[in-house]
Amino acid sequence: MIRIPQVRVVDEEGNQLGVLPTQQALEMAQERGLDLVEVAPMAAPPVVRFLDFGQYKYELTKREKEAKRRQRSVTFKEIRLSPKIGVGDFQTKVNRAIEFLKDGDRIKVTVRFRGRELTHPELGRNMLARFTERVAEHGVAERTPLLEGKSMYITMASTHKPKGHDGGGQARPAAGEIDAPAAAEAPAAAKVDAPAKAEGPAAAKVDAPAKADASAKVDATETKTPTRRPATTGE
């Protein structure tokens, strides 16, 4: 409920109605079937407007959700190293840090000491210096290496803008556009296979004389009758 005696009134179309008593403004809103909504309470006098309060709350909530969906908070990522880390593992950590920095995140690079390694803090400083040089194109160190307990760390800020949830990646082609070349290649494949199928009769013609020769030889051997010698009688 509005307790201010006078308010500046704006109607549903955005027209200024001037400063009116609060009761009069409320009656005017009721005559129009609308609500009297205070839209600028800190103004002098406060600004009110004729609105459908339910619709107003719905649109306000919708805008807040849309703004929250589009924004992206900067998160803090941590990369952990050790003084005895291998060359390959060190490069993997560098690549991972570059990915975080490209997304606009801040990173914390920590070198953890074990046992007597703590007596050589220069190893950690040198490693953090090398790490900073490797990612210099994507981030900058916010402070010098700091030794706390058994860990030495630095924080780095990204030089890239944070990516929103609706990142502007390259547009993907539609499914029809992707499948079109494959569909176009199908007739070509059929044309290539056609001559192979057409060679079937030719192969049959080539095989036919061979079969005929074989059958003729078989018949020739079957038609020959063995000649019998006359029997001789002993004297």
CA–CA separation, 87 and 224 (whole Å): 91
Per-residue CA distances from 112 to 28, 88, 133, 141 (Å) = 71, 18, 20, 18
Domain at 140, CATH number: 3.30.110.10
Confidence (pLDDT) at 87: 92
Confidence (pLDDT) at 65: 84
Would 190 be classed as within a structural domain?
A: no
Confidence (pLDDT) at 171: 41
Confidence (pLDDT) at 133: 92
How many folded domains does the chain comprise?
2
Q: What is the pLDDT along the chain (235 residues), one digit of tens a residue?
A: 678 888 999 988 888 889 999 899 889 988 888 988 888 888 888 899 998 888 888 888 888 888 777 766 667 889 999 999 999 999 999 999 999 999 888 999 999 999 888 889 999 999 999 999 999 999 999 888 888 889 999 999 988 877 654 444 444 444 344 343 443 344 433 343 444 444 444 433 434 444 444 444 444 444 444 555 555 444 3
Retrieve residue 64's tokens. 């807040």
Retrieve residue 32's tokens. 């129009």
Query: Is the four-CA dihedral 132, 134, 136, 140 of positive or negative sign?
Result: negative
User: Is residue 32 domain-shared with residue 89, that is, in the same domain?
Assistant: no
Would 118 be classed as within a structural domain?
A: yes
User: Is residue 84 domain-shared with residue 49, that is, in the same domain?
Assistant: no
For residue 119, give the 3-state DSSP assignment.
Answer: helix
Domain final residue, candidates 108, 139, 158 = 158
